[in-house]
């Protein structure tokens, strides 16, 4: 049956309208996808580069050097001395130059101290209870993350240093250390986690340039484990609880590994039940009695259930070479190793030697030629030359190594 002309016209118009609507739908979808892509690219341009999280896969050994600070304890936040954090333009330029130096020498990873002995960055009540982060902390962290991203250098952020527990010392109205109660007092420990750790993890917990969160650097020097203990030192169980609770907070708000910078391979035993995702020990011949870590401190011999890194080794020590420490760490099944240090000016630091070793390692070990470690080691989941030191800010650590087997063998003493 033939339709009347008027009905045929209506039918044609309906078909045309349907086609127009279909085309408009396609156009809308294309526009929407373009807007989403533009927003993504804008965000990406702000972040400067794609970053894949570091897995600490032992088959991809990661060589680096400890930064470990621009100004000890003052890179994140302000205090009574003022603000010398990473977001301050002069300091930012200096840190940027340091990271450029590291990048030029093939450095893949660094350790960076955050709060140190708590001289900056954390606000407290009259009785010393942590009540929040300083207003400058996020701005400093944002800048630090941006610099690390732009230079493609992963960062292990070290939240606290063992000097946190040292007897309190004051200079020009700023208290350094004296925070033993943050570890032994359950109420203050809870406040520290809720008001300091959780906000930090909530904001940066999934940042892929963060290689790991380190609860404390060499906590054993703040523990009662030696023949001559000091009154301010805490019991082993107290420090273990402190570490475990912060590790738990990290796991709740971050997908990056949690670690502890153990002062010696002999002290790894204290952290086996802390819930760590990454084991780490430091090695200094003066403390250990031999030049390089032996096979008894290998990943296999220690029977670890998570990856292992050599977090510190001397870049300046008699009869040793930084490159040999990297080779030793690789042979011992470590997933990486970091020399001490770029910025510390103590007797165990030679920035140029550390940087040269890193550059040599990067040239020698391309991704295709890296040695595969023994099977069964899991991966963790959740301008050239030495930079010149500027005049230290008030209270900056004088950085001289100290000690014998009963004392810390570390890169600094707190200034008095």
User: Do 2 and 71 fall within a single domain?
Assistant: no
If one compares 239 and 9, the residue with the highest pLDDT of the two is: 239
Q: Which residues contact 406 (CB under 8 A, 6 or more apart)?
A: 226, 227, 228
Report yes or no: 199 and 137 within 8 Å, Cβ to Cβ. Answer: no
What is the mean pLDDT of the segment spanning 363-388?
53
User: Do 5 and 77 fall within a single domain?
Assistant: no
**What mean pLDDT, rounded, does the chain reach?**
86
What is the mean pLDDT of the segment spanning 13-25?
61
DSSP structure string for 91-131: HHHHHHHHHHHHHHTT--EEEEESSTTTSSSEEE-TTS-EE
Is 384 inside a domain boundary?
A: no
Is 387 inside a domain boundary?
A: no
User: Do 142 and 255 fall within a single domain?
Assistant: yes
Is 169 inside a domain boundary?
A: yes
Identify the helix (H) or strand (E) that includes residue 299: helix 299-302
Look at residue 214 and tell me whether its pLDDT is greater than 50: yes
pLDDT in tens, 72-116: 999 999 999 999 999 999 999 999 999 999 999 999 999 999 999
Look at residue 4 and tell me whether its pLDDT is greater than 90: no
User: Do 43 and 63 fall within a single domain?
Assistant: no
The CA distances from residue 73 to 81, 167, 235, 312, 356, in Å, are 12, 16, 25, 19, 27
pLDDT of res. 375: 41
Is 404 inside a domain boundary?
A: no
User: Do 327 and 344 fall within a single domain?
Assistant: yes
User: Do 30 and 65 fall within a single domain?
Assistant: no
pLDDT of res. 289: 94
User: Do 133 and 252 fall within a single domain?
Assistant: yes
User: Do 28 and 112 fall within a single domain?
Assistant: no
Structural domain count, the chain: 2
What is the mean pLDDT of the segment spanning 31-40?
64
Look at residue 70 and tell me whether its pLDDT is greater than 70: yes
Is 412 inside a domain boundary?
A: no
Is 248 inside a domain boundary?
A: yes
Which range, of 32-36, 121-125, 173-177, averages the lowest pLDDT? 32-36
What is the mean pLDDT of the segment spanning 36-45?
54
CATH no. for residue 240? 3.20.20.80
pLDDT of res. 402: 33
168: pLDDT confidence band, cut at 50, 70 and 90? very high
User: Do 256 and 363 fall within a single domain?
Assistant: yes
What is the mean pLDDT of the segment spanning 227-254?
96
Q: How many CB atoms are located within 10 Å of the residue 164 CB? A: 24
In the chain, the percentage of residues whose pLDDT exceeds 70 is 77
What is the pTM assigned to this prediction?
0.83
CA 330/CA 327 separation, integer angstroms = 5
User: Do 34 and 169 fall within a single domain?
Assistant: no
CA 197/CA 214 separation, integer angstroms = 12
CA 192/CA 194 separation, integer angstroms = 6
Is 396 inside a domain boundary?
A: no
413: pLDDT confidence band, cut at 50, 70 and 90? very low
Is 110 inside a domain boundary?
A: yes
pLDDT of res. 190: 98
pLDDT in tens, 223-240: 999 888 999 999 999 999
**What domain range includes position 26?**
1-47
Look at residue 28 and tell me whether its pLDDT is greater than 80: no
User: Do 349 and 308 fall within a single domain?
Assistant: yes
Report yes or no: 409 and 403 within 8 Å, Cβ to Cβ. Answer: yes
User: Do 75 and 1 fall within a single domain?
Assistant: no
């Amino acid at each position: 049956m033939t339709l009347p002309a008027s009905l045929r016209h209506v039918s044609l118009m309906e078909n045309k309208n349907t086609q127009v609507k279909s085309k408009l739908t396609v156009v809308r979808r294309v526009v929407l996808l373009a807007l989403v892509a533009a927003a993504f690219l804008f965000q990406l341009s702000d972040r400067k580069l794609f970053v894949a999280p570091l897995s600490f896969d032992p088959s991809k050994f990661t060589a680096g050097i400890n930064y470990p600070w621009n100004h000890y304890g003052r890179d994140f936040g302000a205090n009574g001395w003022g603000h010398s954090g990473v977001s301050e333009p002069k300091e930012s330029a200096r840190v940027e130059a340091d990271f450029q130096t590291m990048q030029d020498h093939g450095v893949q990873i660094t350790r960076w101290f955050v709060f140190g002995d708590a001289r900056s960055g954390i606000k407290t009540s009259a009785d010393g209870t942590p009540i929040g982060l300083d207003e400058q902390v996020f701005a400093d962290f944002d800048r630090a993350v941006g610099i690390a991203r732009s230079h493609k250098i992963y960062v292990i952020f070290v939240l606290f240093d063992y000097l946190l527990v040292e007897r309190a010392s004051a200079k020009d109205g700023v208290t350094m250390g004296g925070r033993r109660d943050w570890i032994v007092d359950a109420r203050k420990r809870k406040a520290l986690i809720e008001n300091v750790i959780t906000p930090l993890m909530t904001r940066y917990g999934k940042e892929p340039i963060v290689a790991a969160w380190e609860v404390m650097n060499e906590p054993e020097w703040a523990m009662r484990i030696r023949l001559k203990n000091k009154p301010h030192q805490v019991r082993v169980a107290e420090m273990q609880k402190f570490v475990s609770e912060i590790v738990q907070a990290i796991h709740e708000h971050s997908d990056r590994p949690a670690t502890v910078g153990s002062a010696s391979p002999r002290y790894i035993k204290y952290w086996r039940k802390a819930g760590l995702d990454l084991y780490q020990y430091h090695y200094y011949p003066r403390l250990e009695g031999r030049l390089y870590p032996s096979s008894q401190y290998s990943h296999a011999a220690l029977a670890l259930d998570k990856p292992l890194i050599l977090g510190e080794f001397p870049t300046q020590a008699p009869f040793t070479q930084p490159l040999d420490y990297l080779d030793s760490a690789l042979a011992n099944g470590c997933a990486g190793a970091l020399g001490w240090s770029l910025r510390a000016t103590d007797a165990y630091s030679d920035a140029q030697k550390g940087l040269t070793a890193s550059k040599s390692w990067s040239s020698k070990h391309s991704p295709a030629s890296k040695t595969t470690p023994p099977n069964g080691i899991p991966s963790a989941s959740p301008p050239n030359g030495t930079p010149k030191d500027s005049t230290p800010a008030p209270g900056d650590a004088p950085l001289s190594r100290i000690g014998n087997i009963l004392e810390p063998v570390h890169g600094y003493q707190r200034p008095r």
